A = this chain, B = another copy of it.
Amino acid sequence: MDISELGEFGFIDHITRREKIKNSTTTAGIGDDAAVLNFTDKESLVSTDLMVEGIDFDLTYHPLKHLGYKCVVVGASDICAMNGKPSQILISLALSARFTVEMVDEFYEGVNIAALEHGIDVIGGDTSASVTGFMISITTIGSAKKEDITYRHGASINDLICVSGDLGSAYIGLKLLEREKKILTGNNVAKPEFGDYSYLLQRALKPMLRSDVIELFAENKIKPTSMIDISDGLASEILHICKKSDVGAKIYIDKLPIYIKCYEAGNELGIDPIISSMNGGGDYEMLFTTSLAEYEKIKGIEGISVIGHICSKDEGAALVTKEGNELTIIAQGHQGNKEQE
């Protein structure tokens, strides 16, 4: 169905028809000039992200449902990176003439699955035509107690550098998809088969929100000293923490959590999984630092890797090889996977 058949207001009604409010902080959602929220007992957190067709995603291999899911994850990941709980999202779409109501429905199916999984209310948005392509703007809101909020600027010398999950898979998954693009194009296959590399492709198309990591912090009474989510690759993220905290960092190559299939696929593609971890981006894992005193607690949490430690600013930021050689870390954000912070 052509979107113009519904008219703009009909289209908004169509998109929002299934919205049920899940959070007590949402006083009023979609349907007025602004949504009304109540954060009278906590600090609120707000972040915004932009996703542009042809730059941040490619619809020839990115199913719209996965893309909708991913948009929620990309937005909510910023709230988790503040040690907060995401609770509301606003999604605006600019759509070129080739987009049908069914395509937008497929996108929102993914949005709604992710929102339901994470207890997030879709409280607003805007729609516009676009001259070419599809563009998505995501604003995510969440909250945290003032004393729990974790900034980028709290890392101190000797703090442990930790990361959740594994790194570099999303970028290698993206490169696999780009290789397969010609096969998929013209075939009109909305959902590519994931096969043996299914995990890698899934990391690229439908990353998981690491809100579980934030919950583990609460359960284990851990307050990271600094935190950031890995959208642009480990290199640029650790440099953000170093810059904001006025410190240096040593990261050990042999501690990097790399999924085994990355070596196999990386070999086929001619991509070093270490480079992919450092500069690939799109993993949406949590990079954080904790005081040394937390080591026993951190060690006991499955899926968290200690990959290095914070040092003085003078020592710089370096990747340390097995042989003990140091390679200076340089930000390569947006060279690879162009997902935004």
Contacts from A to B (Cβ < 8 Å) = 7-9, 27-28, 31-56, 77-79, 81-82, 84, 88, 90, 92-94, 123-133, 135, 137, 139-142, 146, 149, 151-153, 227-229, 236, 240, 244, 331, 333-334, 338, 340-341
Contacts and interface: CB of A to CB of B under 8 A. Distances in A.
A130 B52 contact: yes
Given A27-B43, A131-B132, A229 B52 contact: no
A338 B126 CA distance: 12
Given A82-B33, A130-B55, A124 B90 contact: no
A338 B78 CA distance: 32
Given A129-B52, A132-B131, A8 B46 contact: no
Copies in the complex: 2
A39 B125 CA distance: 22
Contacts of A79: 33-34
A244 B33 CA distance: 12
A38 B44 CA distance: 6
A331 B11 CA distance: 14
Contacts of A81: 33-34
A146 B37 CA distance: 10
